[in-house]
Structures are given as C-alpha cells and as structure tokens.
Amino acid sequence: MTVTADARIVAAPGGALPVLRSDGPLALRRTRAAGAYAQVTVVGAMTAPLGGDRLRLTATVEPGAALRVTSAAATVALPGPEPGAATYDTVLTVAEDAELHWLPEPVVSARGSDLTATTRVDLAPGARLVLRERLVLGRAGEAPGRYAGRLTVHHAGRPLLDQELSFGPGAPGWDGGAILDHHRAAGQLLVVDPALAEKPADPVLLADTAVLTPLPGPAALITAVAPDALTLDHLLTEGAAHLPLLLPRVSAG
C-alpha cells in the first residue's frame, strides 16, 4: 500500500510555531534551539519513502521569524510493493527579514529504490537562507537505486538557482569520470543573505571535487562530491568557513 502525506510548518516571530502539522511518516517535533530560532526536527514515523509513496513537506517563515529544520536520521529511499517512483516534494517560503536554516540529514538511495525529489524555495528580497542537501548512493557495499532531484530557488520574484540531478540506473553517464566517477556522495550548501549583495563571496576551489561559487544576487553555493558522507560533510563545512560575514548564522552541521 502506498502512502500519501502532506506535513506543514509555519514559523512566526518570537519562536512561535502556529502551525506544526504532522502527517503519515512525516512526524514533526519541536526541539530545543539556541537563540531566537524555533527548531523543528522531522522524525520518521514509518518506513518511507517506498515506491509509489507521495510525500510533501511545506515550511513557511513569516516576516521577522527564524526557523531551523533538521531531521532525526537519514531518509532512506527503499523499493516498495507498488511499482513506480516515490516522490518527495519540499516547498519553502521565507518572508521579508525572515531566516530559514534547512539542514536535514542525507538521503540514502538504496538498491532497487526509485525516488524523485523536488525542492522549491521562494525568498522575499530581505530573506536569509541556509539550505543543505546531501545524497548517498547506496548503503555500505550496495549498488544505488535511481534518484532524480531538482532544486529551484526564486529570490525577490526572480530565478536564482534551478538545477537538476539524476543518478543511478537509467541516468546516462552518472558514474563516469565527468560526473561522479568512483564517488558515492554528493551535496551542496546554498547561502542567501543580503550581506552578500554588498560583499560577494570569492570563488574558492576547496578540493579537486569541491568548489564555492558566488551566484548572481546575494548568494553563494558550495558543491561537492566525495567517496562517503563523512568526507562530504567536511568539504561543506570547509566551504562555509569561507563566508565570514555569515559565520554567526551558517552551520553545515
């Protein structure tokens, strides 16, 4: 049996969470946070996503509010009893003078799974965002499943970033030298902050497989591939250290 779930978070100023609605496998728990943030941890209430599941998580940060979202464990995509891909859609809206840190644990693409994940972000002109995405292809000693992902970010009504990734069976050349080669972990850290409009980030080659790139507008993107999740985390953290204006807020962990 497939699962359809639609969970929702709304953050208001002062650390308030007027809406915290769990659904199906997406169990939302308010957890302790330092400072003025409201913090929500996504806890897997059941095994998901499986083939055919339809999951959706929406977060809205109201003007002047600050929200940090984490997850209790990795999201493991598994094959299910039903044919077809699972979908996991994330929709994020950050208002003027609001801040969102979106820092979930990695997605793990297990053998035989098929997951299509989309993340859509709408940022007001004065919004701030730290968004991390990490993908691990296969568990230890295991071939990966199929993973297709798309990240779309709009800032002040204009496109800021739109990218698609496709790995695993059926994705042309994904394990070739021009894409992942022997690496099995990929990730990125996107930072959007008005401070970057006044002082853009400098491009930095962090390693042979990791780079910090300034984006048009008040943003910077750290992208990396690595042999494993631990090495990937180190590369993203190293990249964040090159953004000194944002260090009081940016965390890759």
What is the distance, to the nearest Å, from the Cα of residue 195 to the centroid of all Cα atoms in its chain?
Answer: 22
pLDDT above 70 for 74 = yes
Give the chain's mean pLDDT.
90
What is the distance, to the nearest Å, from the Cα of residue 173 to the centroid of all Cα atoms in its chain?
Answer: 24
User: 49-58, 137-146, 220-229 — which is least confidently predicted?
Assistant: 137-146
CA-CA-CA-CA torsion sign (165, 167, 173, 179): positive
* Residues 29-51: tens digit of each pLDDT: 999 877 778 999 999 877 889 98
d(CA 59, CA 62) in angstroms, rounded, equals: 10
pLDDT of residue 103: 94
Encode burial over 39-75: b for 16+ CB neighbours within 10 A, e otherwise.
bbbbebeeebbbbbbbbbbbbbbbeebbbbbbbeebb
d(CA 165, CA 110) in angstroms, rounded, equals: 17
d(CA 15, CA 136) in angstroms, rounded, equals: 33
Q: What is the pTM of this model?
A: 0.92
pLDDT of residue 175: 81
**Domain limits of the chain?**
4-243
Query: What would the mean pLDDT of 63-80 be, rounded to a whole number?
Result: 93
Region for residue 195 given its phi and psi (left: phi exceeds 0; alpha: psi -120 to 50; beta: otherwise): alpha
Secondary structure element (H or E) that encloses residue 238, with its range: helix 229-240
d(CA 107, CA 185) in angstroms, rounded, equals: 10
Region for residue 84 given its phi and psi (left: phi exceeds 0; alpha: psi -120 to 50; beta: otherwise): left
More confident residue, 62 or 245: 62
d(CA 135, CA 149) in angstroms, rounded, equals: 10
User: 97-111, 116-130, 144-158, 237-251 — which is least confidently predicted?
Assistant: 237-251
* Residues 134-181: tens digit of each pLDDT: 999 998 888 899 999 999 999 999 999 999 999 988 888 888 877 888
pLDDT above 60 for 247 = no
CA-CA-CA-CA torsion sign (158, 87, 60, 218): negative
